[in-house]
Chains A and B, each alone.
Chain A
Amino acid sequence: MHESQFPPGDFRAPLPTIAPGHSFRSINDKLTSIVLTKNTPLVWFIVTGIAFMFLMGLTVAIAYLLAKGIGIWGNNIPVGWAFDIINFVWWIGIGHAGTLISAILLLFKQDWRTSINRFSEAMTLFAVLCAALFPLIHTGRPWLAIYWLFPYPNAMTLWPNFRSPLIWDVFAVTTYGTVSLLFWSTGLIPDMAAFRDKTANPFLKKLFGVLSLGWRGSARHWARYEKAYLLLAGISTPLVLSVHTVVSFDFAVSVLPGWHATIFPPYFVAGAIYAGFAMVLTLAIPIRVMFGVQDFITMRHIENCAKVMLVTGLVVVYGYMSELFFGWYSANEYEHFMLKNRTWFGPYAWTYWLLLLCNFLVPQLLWSKRLRRTIPVVFIVCMFINVGMWLERFVIIVTSLHRDFVPSSWEMYYPTKWDFLTLFGTIGLFTTLMFLFVRLLPMIAIFEMHSLLPQSRSKPAGEEATS
């Protein structure tokens, strides 16, 4: 943990990442008690119950889809990709904040990442799960789709085409999901040992003992653990940047006006981080109050996330501007038509202006330090960004597709109730998993919080701090 160059009390000094006055014991007690207590907050049951209802809606939507086929959705020709791919890109983007926080901020030694990294890694896992559902179900009959999604020796001796970005996407998303799972579960091991040692319940003691793999906090183990964790962070950093790059290739490699743009990879990655941080705050703001962890997820975290959103939001807006510029500069009549259709006279032009309201105008409130530190304002801005990032993918996908090169293949796209049930169903799946996670597993890495305390810094010369 580095010291601020400013003395405490100075208005330039950063807010603390952990409220003062904590000891090793108080951190351990607080964070284990959230899981080991028998008292669950009532609001937890209410939120989980509502989310679970939506999850049940998702199972109905998928069951009906598998029975009837994708004709139950609004997709048509030319809009062959619609809610399925919009939701996929939206969710996978949300998943990016977890690895950014746990890997890239670790490499940059940003100690404020510590109290939100576990939480956002879990968010990543669940968001990737929701995302991965869509490519699977949008095939209509997923059991027939396996041979062109995954390379495996099949009876037809067919192999996927590795020259296509769609198969790159399969590799990128499955790798990202797997590595995120490894990262998250490796971080959980020492905390499972803390639970094993804390609980009095013999069954839980055995369970956490198994989950901790017999972790005993040996210095040799810690040395290898830290090395492995650092290397994981190092390899996850290019991975997280590659995933949304590859997702953007799905579009950029095609020849469709509105998709065929070189700005797509950086613009998608920035959008992913933007959406991810908005979702981190959307979840962290209520959960820190629900479980009383305001000492660990402080105003510093909220403010820093808000700053990251402000910066990445402006990168995204730069992406919008450069799309406009290159569309105009291409001097191509189809590009010109696409732009005018998207922003001016097209039937979906209102979604573009709504998108600019959500992703460009409203987040500018975060320039103000006072508003950045006003929790309801930050929460509302996050909600706008969540919606805005979904709209961005709607604009990219639907408005680019619905006006094909020749007017004879123009068609409007209208989502059906099954489209909406699937979208809200995945939000239910995500929320259910997230709330189960915060109740059943440590949402804040206990051992990393210990390392944030000043007394964790050892002074071999004999000037020890007391615990």
Chain B
Amino acid sequence: MAHDPEATTLYGYLAEFDTPGQLLKAANRVREAGYTKTDAYSPFPIHGMEDALGFRERAVAPIVLAGGLTGLMVGYGLEYWTMVIAYPMNVGGRPYHAWVNFIPPAFETTILFSAFAAVFGMFALNGLPRPHHPVFGAKRFALASSEKFFLAIEATDPKFDAKTTRELLAGLSSREVVELED
């Protein structure tokens, strides 16, 4: 892809930290300064990071519940339709609608659909798979999956200012602050 250096736009700033504690503290400070379009990157989940970023989303659990209920209805519906409507079969005079016997398969489909909802719902909310993202442009970002911790402030943030934002990040005991190109 032809890349014109003039045409690149600033995606934001990325600050690097050595420890999860520094990252958490920096994220808290950045939120207190009024930034909202921020994100933290770490090799493992850090306890308390959601609050530090002001991230309050409770979407995964309802998706899983919806998946589970769908699975229950699909499973039970399949059993009812096949055993009572499509292919009623008299086995020793047992009822066609043998709801007790329908529980195990309906239970299994409930679990199956909720598991799919949990995994695929989580990836959809996360916008994954996504082959590229501006943070991958930073040279040292490869360390975000092993030992370093990063905090990004995006240029689209209403409070973003090329100079003051950079100074804020640089003042937060970060190792270095780099520009990210979109």
CB within 8 Å of B: which residues of A?
23-25, 28, 151, 157-165, 167-168, 171-172, 175, 178-179, 182-183, 186, 190, 193-194, 196-198, 209-210, 213-228, 231-232, 235-236, 238-239, 242, 246, 249, 446-448, 450-451, 455-460, 462-467
Contact A216 B68 (CB under 8 A): no
* Residue B66 interfacial (CB < 8 Å): no
* Distance, CA A450 to CA B146, complexed state (A): 9
- B19 neighbours in A (Cβ, 8 Å): 455, 458, 464-467
In the complex, which of the residues A24, A158, A221 contacts B128, with contact meaning CB atoms closer than 8 Å? A221
Q: Nearest 4 CB-CB pairs, A to B?
A: A464-B21, A213-B129, A228-B122, A159-B82
* Distance, CA A432 to CA B23, complexed state (A): 43
* Distance, CA A326 to CA B144, complexed state (A): 60
* Residue B16 interfacial (CB < 8 Å): no
The CB with the most chain A CB atoms within 10 A, among B39, B68, B109, is that of B39
* Distance, CA A225 to CA B44, complexed state (A): 11
What is the minimal beta-carbon distance from A196 to any residue of chain B, in angstroms? 8
**What 1/0 flags go to B9-29 for Cβ under 8 Å of A?**
000000000111111110110
Given contacts A157-B87, A162-B82, contact A220 B126 (CB under 8 A): yes
* Distance, CA A272 to CA B116, complexed state (A): 25
Contact A216 B41 (CB under 8 A): yes
Contact B43 A458 (CB under 8 A): no
- B104 neighbours in A (Cβ, 8 Å): 165, 168, 171-172, 242, 246, 249
* Distance, CA A451 to CA B136, complexed state (A): 23
Given contacts A182-B119, A186-B119, A216-B144, contact A463 B21 (CB under 8 A): yes
Contact A458 B114 (CB under 8 A): no
For the complex, count residues of B whose C-beta is within 8 A of A.
76
Contact B18 A467 (CB under 8 A): yes
- CB-based A-B contact count at 8 angstroms: 228
Contact A232 B115 (CB under 8 A): yes
Main secondary structure of the interface of A (DSSP, over half): helix
Contact A458 B21 (CB under 8 A): yes
What is the minimal beta-carbon distance from B68 to any residue of chain A, in angstroms? 7
* Distance, CA A235 to CA B27, complexed state (A): 33
Q: Which of B75-120 contact A (CB under 8 A)?
A: 75, 78-79, 82-83, 86-87, 89, 91, 94, 98, 101-102, 104-105, 107-109, 111-112, 114-116, 118-119
Contact A223 B50 (CB under 8 A): yes
- B91 neighbours in A (Cβ, 8 Å): 161, 163
- B133 neighbours in A (Cβ, 8 Å): 214, 216
Sample (27) of A-B pairs whose CB atoms are under 8 Å apart = A28-B43, A159-B83, A159-B87, A162-B101, A163-B94, A194-B43, A216-B136, A219-B40, A219-B41, A219-B55, A221-B128, A222-B42, A222-B46, A223-B50, A224-B122, A225-B126, A228-B118, A231-B61, A231-B118, A242-B108, A246-B104, A457-B20, A458-B24, A458-B48, A460-B25, A466-B18, A467-B147
What is the minimal beta-carbon distance from B3 to any residue of chain A, in angstroms? 19
What is the minimal beta-carbon distance from B138 to any residue of chain A, in angstroms? 11
In the complex, which of the residues B114, B122, B132 contacts A227, with contact meaning CB atoms closer than 8 Å? B122
- B118 neighbours in A (Cβ, 8 Å): 182, 228, 231-232, 235
